[in-house]
Amino acid sequence: RSHCDWSSDVCSSDLDHGFGYVTLYGHASELVASQNEEVQRGDVIARVGSTGIATSPHLHYEVRVQGIAQNPANFILPEYIRY
């Protein structure tokens, strides 16, 4: 599910990875991937923004397993961390 509702200043994308895993990326300034588009690791799906009541650009990254929020740090592969 991807959506931008500029009337409420919300832009986010949910990716269904199967097996009950879903990731949400929020506060986007632009959604690059289309709804129902298949994406691969490393593909750009959205551009970081500052929507909602955010005070600066950042990414809201959320992981849910069977609908239950998880610690997203447990799902970030070390080789993809950039400082």
Mean pLDDT of 61-75: 92
Average pLDDT over residues 44-58: 80
**4 near 10, Cβ under 8 Å?**
yes
Phi, psi of 79 (to 5 degrees): -70, -10
DSSP type of residue 47 = E
DSSP H or E run through 22? strand 21-26
pLDDT tens for 10-41 read: 567 788 889 999 888 887 888 888 878 888 88
62, 19 Cβ separation under 8 angstroms: no
Query: pLDDT at residue 4 above 80?
Result: no
Q: Is the pTM of this model over 0.85?
A: no
What whole-number distance in Å separates Cα of residue 51 and Cα of residue 9? 5
